[in-house]
A and B are shown apart, each in its own frame.
Chain A
């Protein structure tokens, strides 16, 4: 069985149980449901709220370099800290945090394979205590925007085929049957997908226990939709967190060099006046 391209970015629940008290490890829970941390978390973990601490809260954007530095400093993260992220929904927003940490050049960042669900299912230790952490003097790098796609690049990919667009939402969101995951607010004016996009839901990369599928299974999954590293890839979803999960899989588990996350995602495209929209199932892979 082939190994992941970068196995060092994944740690197991066992590894976390053994290393959670290491002074050079900072464990951070990042959940979709930001109240989950308060229901009990891995002892020693702090929490980041995706909707207030991992984005600019005024304009729609990721953290600026200064905001990212401040988050790291107040979280007790130094430039040489091993940052271990985990969360609910199989690490959706943990992957979002991972993506931003890589944009700002953090060297050693990892995901706990299986996320919060696996920790709970294994009956492991929980704590209600919020640890206090020492402030640091973290310095972020200039943003590496080769990891992020903006609207113009996505439009070019659609018009000229310069990159493969991968829509990682559910089939019902992709076809336009629903405008948001069931039970969540509708954040776009139109349903459907960017013309020419492939639909590979993020969850196909995971096992039932929340861990990632093997490298061989992942390679087969994406190759069956024409994604084999021969062409740049841009992943998108509704707001960019599910696609950061797929970005992580393609970039770090399969080792594709040119993969970007379009965090504007369907909330941007599906609200654009005049933007082309395709509805129904995907065209056959070429």
Chain B
């Protein structure tokens, strides 16, 4: 199968496309959060703005509020998992000796919790929903199918 036909197949299969969008959304959020917490261990308004733009974009390509809502929760879960795995890697790999490894686990739970809950989490949720409304108005096409083809 050529690359072009594979890309077209992915784009034409709504289910694959949804999974791809949510995965990419999660990775993008993890990236935005990562570059922020690696520099200062919290999110600035600028970081939240970038993450909100990602959510707006992702929400718009998901087209409906339901999918944006579920997609957002899935993406945040993916982002949190990726980020926590990355930041605790030194403890997991044994770079840090006990009890420092336990401190790192605790420290990063604290950092990520304080960075995301509740204000940024709500802003990003609202951005996703607003994005879906925008997508519904401007990106929805006549060949859009719901529920997706099997």
Q: Bound pair: A and B?
A: no
